[in-house]
A and B are shown apart, each in its own frame.
Chain A
Amino acid sequence: MSKVIRFAVKLSAIITFGVLFFMIGHILIRGIPNLTPSLFGLKYTTKNISLFPAIITTLMLVVLTLLVATPIGVFTGFYLIEYAKKGSKLVEIIRITTETLSGIPSIVYGLFGMLFFVIYLDFQYSLLAGTLTVVIMVLPLIIRSTEEALMSVDDSLREASFGLGAGKLRTIFKIVLPVTMPGILSGIILSVSRIVGETAALIFTLGTATKIPNSFFSSGRTLALHMYVLSTEGMHVDESYATGVILLLVILIINVLSTLLSNKLTKENRNE
């Protein structure tokens, strides 16, 4: 019996890695030969199919979204666990809302963003509309991971702090926050990956303009969106693969950086 299970477990692992390697290999083989210097031109033209503006737009979207979503999400998480009365109606409503929101397909966010930000508030296809839509999309992620991190903090630490005559704010900032930092960070990292990989929520909010947006009210396209548009147009499949390679690279860099950052923060707070 244990042999069968061992075999099944191994097989699953092989299938998982196999598919992953096949996909990455496929993208790399089709993409790398097409990575020409002209793809990195400062401006997109129909000749060079540059993806450089898309890289910048992606970074802009990530930074702007996190600037808005992180404080709101983290504070909401703190409110739910540290301040709100346990089992109150409001907490229940917020929790059900965030759980529901985190399960909704991103095209629904896209539709909402288009109807509300683009049309009703008349933002047009713009960086602003795109950012706000993605903010709503990643908020549940950040709230949930903050909540989970806070719930994992042993109550005896809070008691110890209160027992020494420390107030609520001091307890939260000096004791609870350092312990929860890695958990909160992992939520933020997940959000970054979602933003970088998002297309459905952005296509009708951020739009697909090929320039780098020069204001909150101008449109642009992220790497994923660029890739999607190129492949649906059917004219530049090779460049689309090349974009895929860059997208993989960007996600890899973000993951490595954030892992390093969270390791550093965890170590510091353990004082090793």
Chain B
Amino acid sequence: MNKFVIKNMNLYYDDFHALKNINMNIHEKKITALIGPSGCGKSTLLKSLNRMNDLVEKCTIKGDILLDSEDIYAENSDVNLLRKRVGMVFQKPNPFPMSIYDNIAYGPRTHGVKNKSKLDEIVEKSLKSAAIWDEVKNDLKKNALRISGGQQQRICIARALAIEPEVLLMDEPTSALDPISTTKIEELIQELKKDYTIVIVTHNMQQATRISDKTAFLLNGELIEYDKTVNIFSVPKDKRTEDYITGRFG
């Protein structure tokens, strides 16, 4: 089942052609990894899936991106609703400077949940799904900036889960974390795959092999190769993919 269908997509920052004629399908409840050297456009591609690129001035997109066969860039499409369906976790943990509870409750409150017991329930469920409930259940009133970076990132994942998205976009979610936190988050991502479609940008090829089902390799704004992760890393079809995964550049 395809969650996203990207057809002939081109993206420009002003006159810079950042993504060139991308065609790819993203499967439901699978983990898709986007890899490639810095500046290849993988983060840009990720951000076009929940229209975060709208915030960038002079960014124009041509072609189609369909979510459940609906064009997310159509004129009548509601960007806030899209972002509720397609949640995002950023590279650097970015909790709001407020309590852990309020961080998680921010999204549901935004979308109209006011009932206190309902909010309590969402907060607990989200923190449990993000595997951090046991660590913070007695500190829900604590400021989210006062816990470790690894915990902050799981709070951010919980915050994204609290609005019950269908897709979770992750932009190098472990690059700012230590190895132990990274392991925890990788395990968590595996766990989340049961309920969510996950697209993850990563710099770390081992990470891609460990967690993803499919991998897309991008270079200079082009989608070079997109296949099952095992194939990409064992029998790449393109010479450039092979050069990259064997560490000849990037």
Q: A183 CB to closest chain B CB, in angstroms?
A: 14
For B55, list chain A residues within 8 Å (CB). Answer: 158-159, 162
Task: Report how far A154 CA is from B90 CA in the complex, Å.
Answer: 13
Q: A149 CB to closest chain B CB, in angstroms?
A: 14
Q: A106 CB to closest chain B CB, in angstroms?
A: 37
Task: Report how far A159 CA is from B80 CA in the complex, Å.
Answer: 12
For A174, list chain B residues within 8 Å (CB). Answer: 106
CB contact between B110 and one of A85, A164, A178 (< 8 Å): that residue: A164
**CB under 8 Å from chain A, chain B span 138-162:** 141-143, 145, 156, 159-160
Q: A161 CB to closest chain B CB, in angstroms?
A: 7
Task: Report how far A86 CA is from B156 CA in the complex, Å.
Answer: 29
Contacts A165-B81, A165-B107; A272 near B143 (Cβ below 8 A): yes
CB of B87 within 8 A of CB of A85, answer: no
B75 adjacent to chain A (CB < 8 Å): no
Interface string of B67-107 (1 = CB under 8 A from A): 00000000000001111100110101011111100100011
Q: A180 CB to closest chain B CB, in angstroms?
A: 11
Interface string of A154-176 (1 = CB under 8 A from B): 10111111111111001000110
CB of B106 within 8 A of CB of A167, answer: no
CB of A165 within 8 A of CB of B83, answer: yes
**CB under 8 Å from chain A, chain B span 156-211:** 156, 159-160, 163
CB of A165 within 8 A of CB of B97, answer: no
Task: Report how far A166 CA is from B156 CA in the complex, Å.
Answer: 15
CB of B52 within 8 A of CB of A163, answer: yes
Chain A residues within 8 Å of chain B by Cβ, number:
24
For A164, list chain B residues within 8 Å (CB). Answer: 83-84, 87, 106-107, 110, 159-160, 163
Closest to B80 in A: A165
CB of A271 within 8 A of CB of B98, answer: yes
For A271, list chain B residues within 8 Å (CB). Answer: 98-99, 102, 141-143
**Can you show 27 pairs from A to B with CB atoms below 8 A apart?**
A85-B57, A156-B92, A157-B96, A158-B55, A160-B90, A160-B94, A160-B95, A160-B96, A161-B106, A162-B52, A163-B83, A163-B87, A164-B87, A164-B106, A164-B160, A165-B81, A165-B110, A166-B107, A167-B80, A174-B106, A269-B97, A269-B98, A270-B97, A271-B98, A271-B102, A271-B141, A272-B143
